[in-house]
Amino acid sequence: MSPLRKQMQADMVLRGLAARTQEAYIAAVAGLAGYYNRSPEQLSQEDVQQYLLHLIEEHKLSWSTTNQAACALRFLFHITLKQPAAEFTIPNRKAPARLPEILSRDEVHRILDGCSNLRHRALLMTTYAAGLRVTETCRLKVGDIDSERMMLRVANGKGGKDRYTLLSPLLLDTLRQYWRTRPSQDWLFPRTDGSQPIGISQVQKMYYAAKRRAGVTKAGGIHGLRHAFATHLLEAGVDIHTIGRLMGHDKITTTARYLHLQGQVARTDSPLDLLSSLLSKR
């Protein structure tokens, strides 16, 4: 590992950047170095600008990926290389506001029911039943299951915060069946050797395979189960403040934006329906 990479990693840790953000930033800087086959320390602002243009025009990267690469390179120059005056003329681009394709209850049931592998079913069921982010599912430990209070503890969630969420009796029964086949004293869903939690990419593969078997064609990865958790609770009449706490949101505006108020929209009559009695008289 180069001294520059060590220093950048130390800078990111000191500033509390999440582990996945650190990985993405390191990958972006490595891409820059590989493009020029030189250390970033030897590159100018113009070089970085040309590289960002290359990502946009040649690689056709998505809005979010381009933004993340720009943020990583700004961090490198401003913080690690101590060049606060460095500015890139290619601005961050806003990602288009797209609504997620929400899974219906039937689609979630088909995805879970189609998992013949008990471990896969337990993992996907946990993600949906507790409304977890994929990183939170991966890092669950056996000790996080509180069967007496029927709660699931989420340790070190987004922003380094702990919280409690729902533990369904059905989920608890499934987890007990799963644990009897693969008893563990530490991670709930460990890697094969048991030393580390399962990887995010492996979990995504499980989800996509289950979705294909279920014949569900809606776009999106395993995060769709978290969207479905929130939307289905809203449709069942659970108030948005409770949903926000279960999901680990600090602000109610985050929950409202996250849900896109799908449940309320589905239950709201069109103004055309208000005219139905008048139209029927014609």
Tell me if residue 121 is catalytic: no
**CA-to-CA distance for 112 and 187, rounded, in angstroms?**
22
Task: Please tell me which residue in 121, 139, 226, 227 is annotated as part of the active site.
Answer: 226
Task: Please tell me which residue in 121, 133, 139, 232 is annotated as part of the active site.
Answer: 133
Tell me if residue 128 is catalytic: no
Evaluate whether 141 touches 188 at the Cβ level (below 8 Å).
Answer: yes
Tell me if residue 241 is catalytic: no
Tell me if residue 6 is catalytic: no
DSSP 27-65: HHHHHHHHHHTS-GGG--HHHHHHHHHHHHHTS---HHH
Tell me if residue 258 is catalytic: yes
Task: Please tell me which residue in 119, 158, 205, 260 is annotated as part of the active site.
Answer: 158
Tell me if residue 133 is catalytic: yes
Sequence-distant (≥ 6) Cβ neighbours of residue 132 within 8 angstroms: 126, 140, 154, 165, 226
Smallest CA-to-CA distance from 164 within 217, 242, 70 is with 242
Burial class of residue 119, CB neighbours in 10 A (0-12, 13-18, 19+)? middle
Place of tokens 């769709």: 224
Task: Please tell me which residue in 54, 119, 163, 223 is annotated as part of the active site.
Answer: 223
Token pair of 197 as six digits = 């939690």
Report, as residue numbers or ranges, the catalytic residues: 133, 158, 223, 226, 249, 258
